[in-house]
Amino acid sequence: MKEKLPKAQLLRLLDKLMQPQAMTEKESDEALLAFCAGCPDPVKTRWLIVDCIEPLSNMELVERALSMPLRLMADVTPEELPERHPLRAIAM
């Protein structure tokens, strides 16, 4: 299992994600995967970052992500996240 990241590091990653013009698509994808994998529930964190329509500050997003209960990738169904999704290999 990947070790979870400290709040400061998650904030730095999220700052990068919120400025996509400063990165290539690959770098943006890698930053998103690293952010999600560094949180207790990588799948719900991905939803929070990608699909959440509620306007939240970066600090609020990080605090919400860190407040989620720990969830192992082994407990994530293929319906929630396809078996070949790269997040499965990173977060384990």
pTM of the model: 0.87
- Model pLDDT, residue 3: 73
What is the spatial distance between Cα 14 and Cα 1, in angstroms, rounded to a whole number? 21
- Model pLDDT, residue 92: 62
What is the spatial distance between Cα 84 and Cα 86, in angstroms, rounded to a whole number? 6
pLDDT digits (tens, 9 = 90+) for 11-55: 999 999 888 788 899 999 999 999 999 999 999 999 998 887 788
Mean pLDDT of the chain: 90
Residue 4: pLDDT over 90: no
